[in-house]
A = this chain, B = another copy of it.
Amino acid sequence: MIKSFLMLGQSNMAGRGFLHEVDPIYNEKIKMLRNGQWQMMTEPINYDRPVSGVSLAASFADAWSNAHPDEVIGLIPCAEGGSSLDDWQPEGILFQHALSEARFAMRSSQICGILWHQGESDSYRSLHETYYAKLTAIMSTLRHELNLEKIPLIIGGLGDFLGKTGFGQQATEYPQINEQLQRFAHEQQHCYFVTAAGLTANPDGIHIDAASQRKFGYRYFQAFSTMSHIMEPLAGEEQSLNVERAYSKNEQIYIHSLELASGKITYAQFEARMAKVMQP
């Protein structure tokens, strides 16, 4: 059965890294939920906005897949750009919709972890004072509703580029939110913190760039697999940028079908490429 992971939070969980800045990840053992069903993953995974792009979930899944070569991983995209913690309160639509998507996923998968990244929209006006209590209510309700009391919850910190330029200018209280996220991860059971130290942003000053998202996903995977907090950048995290590998027959067919369907190659070129793929 597919091992699945919930993606919850705001834009940096949805992903805004520019697709052209990193190599794509094609791996037939990584799926994403679409219309309640599993499809092979291609980024963007979490299409909440037309600017959705690279998120940490893809390199998380790729690292997980490399560590579990006989298994299939599924990603359940529920993140929503610009959402505050109040937008995620259990009675609200985002939370209820995430429950609904999770329940569709659970028909054909076992949810094994929760990936959370949120806080930019709470990094001002002293919202950090109520952050811990609100996050506790959200996560305990989520675990209870889905009967996921003991699976790991991985929560990432906010980037040090915040509070300075562009759309990130207003998020001046991100250090206080980071304190609350760390406190939450240290005090709550089955929860692990992942630092955003060293990650860099797009020109908008708020969104983690593509290469940094790859590294962030690698950190999330290390937190998940070692069940520990990741408080410093990891020595091996650059390897998340190197996704080159020999593609399986299914992956090659998928890639050539994308090329044709997106108009990059003609049908004659597609046929020629497929003939090569199908060679015994």
Contact = CB atoms under 8 A, between A and B. Distances in A.
Interface of A: 16, 18, 34-37, 39, 42-44, 47-51, 78, 80, 93-94, 96-98, 100, 104, 107, 165-167, 202-205, 207, 258, 260-263, 266-267, 270
Given A35-B98, A36-B97, 11 more contacts: A34-B49, A35-B48, A36-B93, A42-B49, A43-B50, A50-B262, A51-B262, A203-B260, A203-B267, A204-B260, A204-B267
Given A18-B263, A262-B18, A267-B204, A93 B35 contact: yes
A93 B104 contact: yes
Closest 8 CB pairs of A and B: A36-B97, A47-B47, A42-B50, A51-B261, A166-B267, A36-B93, A35-B80, A51-B262
Contacts of A270: 166
B35 A261 contact: no
Interface of A is mostly: loop
A35 B203 contact: no
Contact of A203 (B94, B98, B266): B266
A250 B37 CA distance: 35
B207 A261 contact: yes
A78 B47 CA distance: 14
A270 B204 CA distance: 9
Contact of A94 (B36, B39, B107): B36
7 contacts: A18-B263, A35-B48, A37-B93, A39-B48, A166-B270, A167-B261, A203-B260
Given A37-B80, A49-B39, A261 B93 contact: no
Contacts of A42: 49-50
A85 to B, nearest CB: 15
A98 B100 CA distance: 12
Contacts of A78: 35
